[in-house]
Amino acid sequence: MTLIIAIDGPAASGKGTLARRIASHFGLPWLDTGLLYRAVARDVLVSGGSLDDIAEAAAAARAIAAETLDDPALRGPKAGDAASIVAKIPEVRAALLDYQRAFAGQAGGAVLDGRDIGTVVCPGAHVKVFVTASDEARAQRRFLEHQGRGENISYHDLLTDIRRRDARDRDRSAAPMLAARDAMHLDTTELDANQAFDALLTLINTKLGAN
């Protein structure tokens, strides 16, 4: 049986953690597609380029190497903000599409999380979920994560960053962040990580049972 699960949602909604746990539950490979955009931005900046230079960003996207995605420099709000600038460029998105579709097309299936998985990358996914949480809950979670690592970032700066990035992702014309029409919705504002996982698993099992 093949099972493709698409999990989309805004920054810091918890979709990455949920996708990882769902992948492990079903024994499927998982791709955090945000890492691809983060890596493109990193590669443009490392080579001294500008994030809104279409040709440079597209060349970086075409040259993306899977083994460089496991890079701690890709974590954190600065890398996410830079990613959302190159993510607006249609040529960058097009260059990353084959990689994502090949990943989704593996025997048995896969779990992918991002912004446009259910709408553009895998419109035929068996299960689509759009994960949300209030802006404040998302900023608070990021704040606690940074604090846990001993990093000093203000809650207010994180909230501003999340709102700016969401607006950029929602308002762009190329594959904007959007729930697919056939996506199930999960609001994790009032849920801790385990409750969110349980709620998502119930949604997925119900959907699979109904098919």
Minimum distance, C-beta of residue 37 to ligand C5P, in the bound complex (Å): 3
Considering the complex, state which of residue 28 and residue 162 has its C-beta at the smaller distance from ligand C5P.
162
Q: Which of 132, 110, 136 is nearest to 122 (CA)?
A: 110
Confirm or reject binding of residue 115 to ligand C5P (CB under 6 A).
Answer: yes
Among 19, 28, 38, 158, binds ligand C5P (CB under 6 A): 38
Which two three-digit tokens encode residue 26? 């079903």
Phi, psi of 47 (to 5 degrees): -85, 10
Considering the complex, state which of residue 99 and residue 208 has its C-beta at the smaller distance from ligand C5P.
99
Which two three-digit tokens encode residue 137? 């809950």
Q: Are 91 and 57 in contact (CB under 8 A)?
A: yes
Among 19, 23, 28, 37, binds ligand C5P (CB under 6 A): 37
Which residues are bridge partners to 31 per DSSP?
Answer: 112
CA–CA distance, 44 with 60 (Å, rounded to integer): 6
Among 4, 11, 18, 196, binds ligand C5P (CB under 6 A): 11
Minimum distance, C-beta of residue 168 to ligand C5P, in the bound complex (Å): 6
Minimum distance, C-beta of residue 92 to ligand C5P, in the bound complex (Å): 9
CA–CA distance, 208 with 2 (Å, rounded to integer): 12
Among 83, 125, 131, 183, binds ligand C5P (CB under 6 A): 83
Among 57, 84, 103, 130, binds ligand C5P (CB under 6 A): 84
> Residue 27 corresponds to which amino acid?
G
CB atoms within 10 A of CB 151: 10
Which two three-digit tokens encode residue 109? 């299936």
Minimum distance, C-beta of residue 105 to ligand C5P, in the bound complex (Å): 16
The sheet that has 184-187: what strands, in order across it? Answer: 30-32, 109-114, 3-8, 127-132, 184-187
Considering the complex, state which of residue 95 and residue 202 has its C-beta at the smaller distance from ligand C5P.
95
Confirm or reject binding of residue 158 to ligand C5P (CB under 6 A).
Answer: no
Which residues lie near ligand C5P (CB under 6 A)?
11, 33-34, 37-38, 80, 83-84, 87, 114-117, 165, 169
